[in-house]
Chain A
Amino acid sequence: MSKINLSRAARIKTQAGELRALKIAEHGKWAISPWNDLSRLLLPGATKLAFYWADPRFWFQDVAGTIPVTAPGQPIRRWVSVAPGTPALVQPTNADFAPVSRRWPKTGRFNLLNALTEIPTVGGSWGVTGGTMVNGLLTENTANSAHNTFSLGSNNAWSPNLPIGTRVHLSMWVKAVGDTTTAQIAFGATNFGTGSFANFDLVTGDVAATGCNASMVPEDGGWRLLADAVTTATASAGAAFALCLTNNNFAAGRVPAYAGSGRQLEWGKVQISLSEHPYQRVASVNDITEAGVTDVWSAFFDGVGDWLQSEVAVDLTASGQLSLFAGAKKLSDAAQGTLAELSINAPSASYTGSFILRAPQTAGGNDFMIYNRGATGSQNSQAIGLPAPLPAVISGLSDLSDVARIRANGTLRTTTAAVFGGGNYRSDILYVGRRAGSTLPFNGMLQSLIIRGGDLPDNATVIETETIINDVWGAY
């Protein structure tokens, strides 16, 4: 079968499958984790491997490493390297400067469902209780109210009236306004009983689902909420679902009653599938064609003050060659962002043997950039055409005695001239998220960061490394 006829998602899957088959042939079994496989792949020949993988088992909420990260939304003040002998990243100053743990379905992917509507103003078969709905803005009453809900009403053509046991999928975009932090999707009691609902934390991305499946994905400055439940009765009437504000109570029960406080929620398109097959079409490379999307952890940097730094210097002095891999997602191209930088100011001639990974390199640049400074020269390698908020897998393959290359999402983007003048990389503090912990803050998510000193790996190893990262991160 020709790969040319396969979708990109299918090709990725095929590559991953081939990789697994290869691993099975080589080792008799597939490794227990992607970071184990990456270590096995990248350790041979490495003079140094600083390897940071987003997963709670490598994270702590304190610098000393005594309080583990156990859930989304917690500060990451210590990020332990997967590879032994390399320093942990720490946030030495304040929890408010620490990136926050995040977990959600593979970045950028959600399902297109077969029914789509824009949120209308109040009227027709849409109903609001305890609030108002005007031009997509749901506002809870300030007076006491039974609850605040916006329902797809009983007369709407999309009311279920489906056989018992039919799985119904909802997908909707929401954005918190003001101090609103939580939202709830409650499936209609008439068709689904009173036990199916999900609470969404619009700050941390955490989800609590009861009697249904639910997840959330960041999108356009807000969140795409996804939920599905099974009908327990066949009924021609009754609301399909309700969206509730829960008085910022993430632990609230279904359609909670509380005193009104005037909280608001912006609400966009709603997609509904009343069939067992919600995956209707693929409109872009960010869509998937199969059920079941695994979730992925990442460290969220707020673009204002978050940063980490290596506890001690990362010693790269044994080599003038450096391989750098990162799974990351910019949330904005508005300003320069420092994803990683060795030394406090790599562009300065005082810091030969430094490097930078930037996202983006220039305000509005829609790019990623790797910068190297050798003994006598320095140069940028840019991967352009990668606008926020798309996720990416970035690779930098640099030789200070030769050229530097940057790859993005599996393809070579730029090769520099041989301008560095040789020399080796330096031993210095590695900063992640802000230059020198001070300026050029990165706004986005970091899923993995691998810095490998030593002879550059061959092309097959580079591609295999990228494929393993992408298999988790879902960038392309």
Chain B
Amino acid sequence: MQRVTVAIANDATLVKGMNQLQVLMGKSEGFVTYTTPRWQDSNGNLYYVSSGNWTQEQIDGATDTDAYTEELDGMEENFPDLFPLLDITAITAAQTAFTWDVPAAPDRVSAVIENDAQVSVVILGLTPVQEDEE
């Protein structure tokens, strides 16, 4: 297991694809992982970020569009509510845009393998969006 930190550009297709990929990876039970972009780059572009321990299989599968064929076949049985919402095109777009070891950018999914998530967001060039408290 290695800690992987992912930054997804604020792009509807990429977000949709990554939400669905997370279910195929077995990390989520719904297409709800990325709901609000809470991180930003130096130009103010917004990103969705997650960080957690991934297996080598999950790491390898992030960019392999054939990696989750079995899981896709099992979606109708295992996730009957989600199955009608599956969008293979979006998943493929997210995997194609998935790039390791590069700063976050508005046209891609960037990911870093690093033990410390705080270091990872620095590598990705991101800072949290400041919240104004009432």
Chain A positions near chain B (C-beta within 8 angstroms):
63, 73, 75, 93-98, 100, 176, 178-179, 181, 202-204, 221, 248, 302-306, 331-332, 334-335, 345, 347-349, 435, 438-441, 443
Contacts and interface: CB of A to CB of B under 8 A. Distances in A.
A204 B53 CA distance: 9
A345 B38 CA distance: 16
B78 to A, nearest CB: 14
A403 B30 CA distance: 44
B46 interface: no
A95 B128 contact: no
Given A179-B2, A345-B133, 10 more contacts: A94-B27, A94-B28, A96-B52, A97-B33, A98-B52, A178-B114, A181-B115, A203-B3, A303-B118, A305-B50
Contacts of B129: 439
Contact of B52 (A95, A181, A443): A95
Contacts of A441: 128
A285 B56 CA distance: 41
B73 to A, nearest CB: 22
Contacts of A181: 2, 115
A465 B114 CA distance: 38
Given A94-B27, A335-B128, A439-B128, A304 B5 contact: yes
Q: Which 6 A-B pairs have CB atoms at the shortest separation, nearest pair first?
A: A96-B52, A302-B117, A94-B28, A304-B117, A94-B33, A96-B50
A439 B33 contact: no
Contacts of A334: 118
B51 interface: yes
Nearest to A356: B133
Given A93-B28, A96-B51, A345 B134 contact: yes
A63 B51 contact: no
B1 A203 contact: yes
B97 to A, nearest CB: 18
Interface in B70-112: none
Given A95-B28, A179-B2, A221-B116, A100 B134 contact: no
Given A96-B27, A203-B3, A204-B1, A75 B53 contact: yes
B45 interface: no
A63 B6 CA distance: 23
A305 B118 contact: no
Contacts of A348: 134
A202 B129 CA distance: 30
A202 B115 contact: yes
Contacts of B133: 345, 347
B91 to A, nearest CB: 16
Chain A interface, >50% SS class: loop
A203 B53 CA distance: 9
Contacts of B26: 95
B115 A176 contact: yes
A304 B6 CA distance: 11
B67 interface: no
B51 A305 contact: yes
A203 B118 contact: no
A93 B36 contact: no
Contacts of B3: 203, 302
B110 to A, nearest CB: 14
A349 B133 CA distance: 11
A178 B101 CA distance: 10
A75 B52 contact: yes
Nearest to B6: A96
19 contacts: A63-B29, A75-B53, A94-B22, A94-B28, A94-B33, A96-B22, A100-B53, A178-B114, A221-B116, A302-B118, A303-B117, A303-B118, A304-B5, A304-B118, A305-B51, A306-B51, A331-B118, A438-B36, A439-B128
Interface in B1-46: 1-6, 22, 26-30, 32-33, 36, 38
B20 to A, nearest CB: 12
B62 interface: no
- Which of A94, A176, A181, A332 has the most chain B CB atoms closer than 10 A to its own CB? A94
Nearest to A63: B29
Nearest to B5: A304
Contacts of A347: 133-134
Contacts of B2: 179, 181, 203, 248
